[in-house]
Amino acid sequence: MNTKAYAAPSATENLAPFAFDRRTVGAKDVQIEIEYCGVCHSDIHIARNEWGGSVYPVVPGHEIIGRVAKVGEGVAGFKAGDLVGVGCLVDSCHHCPACEDDLEQYCEGGMVFTYGSPDPVMGGMTYGGYSEKIVVDEQFVLHVSEKLDTKAVAPLLCAGITTYSPLRQWQVKAGDKVGIIGLGGLGHMGVKLAAAMGAHVVMITTSPEKGADAKRLGAHEVLVSRDEAQMAAHANSFDFLLNTIPVAHDVNPYIDLMKRDTTMVIVGALALLPDVNGVGLIMKRKRIAGSLIGGIRETQEMLDFCAEHNIVSDVEMIDIQDINDAYDRVVKADVKYRFVIDMKTLKD
């Protein structure tokens, strides 16, 4: 099926109109007409080859919301007209220990990302949600509640699940003191989700001017990490830290905030963490861990939780024709807190 899209032709060129063929709908496939697609910083990294290994052209987009247009004859869980989502994954090996545990994001046989992965059906590379439609195996399609603001649901499929998964894995519960480090696309979702779980949420930021917005999002306190007196007052008091800082940074000041036998989870920094002082970990049996997105079952759980608690992302809508300016603004942290593309503008 001929499909309109926007693609990065190379690491140094702007995204521009592009057309390609989607596969026809197979027995277990769902064809989705895309209404909204979120803009993730990962899109920029891959479009600009900042992580290396990008294969061009790149059609980014893994925060996809749309309506089912057609289903294969073997599909039982979806029908035409359903509101659905597609996140970061569109396939996996299905049989490794991770897949058998509903943790497809850690597939040992080779997960298939929504874009930028070898396409096991069509050959070439997978193309993502900056496009008018997509065809996906039903096992990787998610139900989306009609109760929520549809456009603002899109970033839940990456930013939402990236923060929800560690909060669930480390069993954050009502009354826990939870620190969310960094107030951006991930951090603002961490605040909303942890607050909905009943935690006492502390936004930890280098920027005191972000305090009012953090409290609007649900934080109970704001801790300015550059203020030594504030940091000392919170030492050894946190039950859990979610670290969303997207670049390499000194984690030692945050280790000092943790109680004995607690964990700080890194979800933002795909980089070397310099000079971690083992004393801070050893003396109180503290842990630093990492977390990716979630599997399909957990992502559906997250969407259902958000529907129950009326949680969506704070978004700024853009036309697809403005995507290159949006990329530059994301790099400058000039967005509160996620861009979402209105994909009907692709047809304009």
Residues 147 and 166 in one domain: no
Q: Which pLDDT tens digit goes with each residue over 118-177?
A: 999 999 999 999 999 999 999 999 999 999 999 999 999 999 999 999 999 999 999 999
> What is the C-alpha separation between 301 and 279, in angstroms, rounded?
38
Q: Whole domain around residue 108: which residue ranges?
A: 2-158+313-347
- Which residues sit opposite 84 in a β-bridge? 66, 143
The predicted model scores a pTM of 0.96
Q: Residue 348 above 90 pLDDT?
A: no
The rounded distance, in Å, linking the Cα atoms of 347 and 327 is 21
CATH number for position 246: 3.40.50.720
- Bridge partners, 241 (sequence order): 179, 264
Query: The domain spanning residue 32 has which CATH number?
Result: 3.90.180.10
The pLDDT score that the predictor gives to residue 100 is 97
Query: Half-sphere exposure of 33 toward its Cβ, with a 13 Å CA cutoff?
Result: 11
Q: What tens digit of pLDDT does each residue of 189-199 get? A: 999 999 999 99
For residue 300, being part of any structural domain is answered with no
Q: Give the contacts of 294 (CB within 8 A, at least 6 positions apart).
A: 105, 161, 162, 164, 165, 168, 301, 302
Listed residue (269, 316, 318) closest to 15, CA to CA: 318
Same-domain status, 50 and 112: yes
What pLDDT, on the 0 to 100 scale, is given for residue 347?
A: 83
Q: What's residue 167's pLDDT? A: 98
Could you read off the pLDDT of 267-304 as tens digits, one per residue? 998 888 989 999 999 999 999 999 999 999 999 999 99
321 part of a folded domain: yes
